[in-house]
A and B are shown apart, each in its own frame.
Chain A
């Protein structure tokens, strides 16, 4: 019941855009997005709550489609610092506080 992330990996040039998708088979209360750089801990980016609006953090934003139980993370005008592995964590309506993490999307931004 792990959420499904796509794509598995993406390579971008600086300034290009990318979209990462996260789908759940169960009803969601929230979706969390994290970024992890090699050898480091996952770092929280943002949360989208059921019924909430699209969120943004610098040029990284995300949306939550309740009908599809899906979230998308948008990397706009990518920077070298955006490189890393992005994980979505899904929180189901019947288990508050507990996250199921996707397998991750590896993002490489090149000069």
Chain B
């Protein structure tokens, strides 16, 4: 079975540019999560969706960040405008319905903002 697929794997761009990260969850999974990982802050939950609906976006750092899930097989995380402090590894994960289910992580996008 295909796992969670993220693209791109690496992104290097200049400050002020728009960045779009993409995620395809595992088929049949109802929950989708976006995480950010840095040395300083560890693994932080940014936002999560249930059945394509955003449930909790309290982890989104500021208005420059936005996330959408237009259908069950696709989600985007957008940063506009980007800043050097946004440099991090961004992971997408998905899980099936109800609590107590494992989250399956994609390989991540390593983002560098110059």
Spell out A's residues near B (CB within 8 Å): 2, 29-30, 32, 40-44, 47, 49, 87, 89, 91, 95-104
Contact = CB atoms under 8 A, between A and B. Distances in A.
Interface stretch (B11-19, B80-88, B103-111): B103-111
Contacts of B100: 29-30, 47, 49, 91, 96
Contacts of B108: 41
Chain B contact residues: helix, strand, loop or mixed: strand
A103 B102 contact: no
B21 to A, nearest CB: 14
Interface in B89-114: 91, 95, 98-108
Interface residues of B, number: 23
Contacts of A99: 33, 45, 103
Interface of B: 31, 33, 42-45, 48, 50, 55-56, 91, 95, 98-108
Given A96-B99, A104-B43, 19 more contacts: A29-B99, A29-B100, A30-B99, A30-B100, A32-B102, A41-B105, A41-B108, A43-B105, A47-B100, A47-B102, A87-B43, A95-B56, A96-B100, A97-B31, A97-B50, A97-B99, A99-B45, A100-B45, A101-B43
Contacts of A2: 42
A44 B48 CA distance: 18
Contacts of B98: 96-97
17 contacts: A29-B100, A32-B102, A32-B103, A40-B107, A41-B105, A44-B103, A44-B104, A47-B101, A87-B43, A96-B99, A96-B100, A98-B55, A99-B103, A101-B43, A101-B45, A103-B42, A104-B43
Contacts of B43: 42, 87, 101, 104
Contacts of B101: 47, 97
Nearest to A52: B100
Contacts of B104: 44
A42 B56 contact: no
